[in-house]
Chains A and B, each alone.
Chain A
């Protein structure tokens, strides 16, 4: 009993990793990824030193400005800006990077291969999902180079930096599931990228405060607010409920992907 369960688990992960590996490679070596990461890093390489320089100036001459409450904190003055730029980049580019995952399979009819291979829909979806996350992990790790390199010259607060990056990773987990869902909806690449962006943007807007001040609604609204969860991470605190929020929303979107893929099988 135990042995067969183990074998089944092994089979499950083997097939899943096979799909993940293939998609990861094909995305990593695609011209799209090269161009996109090139542009992103050129942008960050321009913005980051500029912010750092401004911060250094204001630190040297407090008269020139700088928030008196947070004065002198490199994390809040430089790194948070860096992280919010990355968030902005991810918000728009994950749908583009992930659009091919299912939409292109449908467009090129390779979806038939996956659907008729000894591979469950779950294995396929999770494989593709992890491929996208791994790709973005590569990007995140590269972008970590900017704040870490400042550590060569000054002392930097590593704790909040890493918790902020954990927050970014949570965002990647969420955006990727949204992108995959958008990709499962159509066989047009452009349309799926567009839908993904709309979803991502609405995720930020849905949680704007001020819908109602009554207890329940406002507490629900604040719970589904991405901004407030991300703020926790940026401030340096790892809140379990925030992690649970990101994971459960990702699971929700993955469930929708599953339904959308299975719909093809059961289509009536």
Chain B
């Protein structure tokens, strides 16, 4: 559906992105991850035809956006970082305007507007001025704007930035509902968002793609390493050495009363450790398996590329 081939773009002497290539299949939801200033927005802007790259090509459903921008843009719904809303318009009129702008067939416009308002939960404010809406509602109007033309490809640039937790949850629920109806690129630096809704992640840092993998593949990679965090009440000087001798423990680091143990992957070491601590009366406070989330992957990947 989306084919991006070695995109490069620089602003003056600063290289914003270089040699970015990826492919996204129809119906996939792909998280586009990266720290702030990594080149996410620049890539999004090129994908949507807002900007022209210095090198490379973008194909949306087989149409080159540089050669046939008008045709390609018909297939797109784009929610930029700041929702592009006319604050002096009514919600309903605004969506009608966008639908016309995106060349929806005239007869279908009222139906599509109704459907979109329903989808994003804006039905009760349809006759209100956008100016008077809360930030969460404004963001939803922005999302509605991207959806109203029922595009095949949906590009969302940080859709939950600056919202309160309840609003974030609402937007995410909407995103989950949209899954399967569109091919979605979700650009974000919030990792839990990706974990909830995406099939695949592309991590970008300093303008280069650092990693592309499916979420399951990613978590498998993560499981290759296993860590246990042990907290005790009484710490003696030799505890560190003793812990190292427990079978299955590879290495131990001490942080005050907590110990982080790198352990062998397939091993029922938890029991042994608990028994060891209790038998020696160290006073067990906590013993837990450290779960790896995207956050750790992300930090590791971005730090690797720094080196």
Asked if A111 and B84 sit within 8 Å, CB to CB, the answer is yes
Chain B residues within an 8 Å CB radius of A118:
69-71, 73-74, 101-103
Q: Is A155 an interface residue (CB 8 A)?
A: no
- Output the residue of A19, A109, A115 with the most chain B CB within 10 A: A115
Q: Is A153 an interface residue (CB 8 A)?
A: no
Interface size on B, residues (CB 8 A): 33
Which A243-265 residues sit within 8 Å CB-CB of chain B? 264-265
Asked if B10 and A268 sit within 8 Å, CB to CB, the answer is yes
Asked if B85 and A108 sit within 8 Å, CB to CB, the answer is yes
Chain A residues within an 8 Å CB radius of B89:
26
Asked if A113 and B73 sit within 8 Å, CB to CB, the answer is no
Write out, one digit per residue, whether chain A residues 114-129 have a CB within 8 A of any chain B CB (1) or not (0).
1111111000000000
Bound form: Cα–Cα A115–B48 in Å: 9
Smallest beta-carbon distance A128→chain B, Å: 13
Q: Is B12 an interface residue (CB 8 A)?
A: yes
Write out, one digit per residue, whether chain B residues 84-120 have a CB within 8 A of any chain A CB (1) or not (0).
1111110000000110111100000000000000000
Q: Is B248 an interface residue (CB 8 A)?
A: no
Residue in A19, A112, A268 whose beta carbon sits within 8 Å of that of B84 in the complex = A112
Smallest beta-carbon distance A100→chain B, Å: 10
Asked if A108 and B73 sit within 8 Å, CB to CB, the answer is no
Which A140-187 residues sit within 8 Å CB-CB of chain B? none
Chain A residues within an 8 Å CB radius of B73:
116-119
Which A210-268 residues sit within 8 Å CB-CB of chain B? 264-268
Asked if B84 and A109 sit within 8 Å, CB to CB, the answer is yes
Chain A residues within an 8 Å CB radius of B263:
none
Write out, one digit per residue, whether chain A residues 83-127 have a CB within 8 A of any chain B CB (1) or not (0).
000000000000000000000000011111111111110000000
Given known pairs A15-B101, A18-B100, A116-B48, the reply for A109 and B80 (CB within 8 Å) is: yes
Bound form: Cα–Cα A118–B151 in Å: 12
Asked if A113 and B98 sit within 8 Å, CB to CB, the answer is yes
Closest to B102 in A: A117
Chain A residues within an 8 Å CB radius of B11:
267-268
Q: Is B231 an interface residue (CB 8 A)?
A: no
Given known pairs A15-B101, A18-B100, A22-B97, the reply for A116 and B86 (CB within 8 Å) is: no
Q: Is A30 an interface residue (CB 8 A)?
A: yes
Asked if A113 and B84 sit within 8 Å, CB to CB, the answer is yes
Asked if B88 and A30 sit within 8 Å, CB to CB, the answer is yes
Consensus secondary structure, chain B interface? loop
Asked if A116 and B87 sit within 8 Å, CB to CB, the answer is no
Chain A residues within an 8 Å CB radius of B52:
265-266
Interface size class for chain A?
20 to 34
Chain B residues within an 8 Å CB radius of A116:
48-50, 73, 76, 78
Asked if A268 and B54 sit within 8 Å, CB to CB, the answer is yes
Smallest beta-carbon distance A262→chain B, Å: 9
Residue in A18, A26, A112, A268 whose beta carbon sits within 8 Å of that of B80 in the complex = A112
Smallest beta-carbon distance B148→chain A, Å: 11
Q: Is B22 an interface residue (CB 8 A)?
A: no
Bound form: Cα–Cα A90–B291 in Å: 68
Chain B residues within an 8 Å CB radius of A19:
101
Bound form: Cα–Cα A22–B158 in Å: 28
Bound form: Cα–Cα A19–B52 in Å: 23
Asked if A119 and B10 sit within 8 Å, CB to CB, the answer is no
Chain A residues within an 8 Å CB radius of B83:
109
Q: Is B274 an interface residue (CB 8 A)?
A: no
Chain B residues within an 8 Å CB radius of A117:
73, 98, 101-102
Give B contacts to A, CB under 8 Å. Answer: 10-12, 48-52, 54, 69-71, 73-74, 76, 78, 80-89, 97-98, 100-103, 145
A-B contact list, 25 entries, CB within 8 Å:
A15-B101, A18-B97, A19-B101, A22-B97, A26-B89, A108-B87, A109-B83, A111-B84, A112-B80, A112-B82, A112-B84, A113-B78, A113-B84, A113-B98, A115-B49, A116-B73, A117-B73, A117-B98, A117-B102, A118-B69, A118-B101, A120-B70, A264-B51, A267-B51, A268-B11
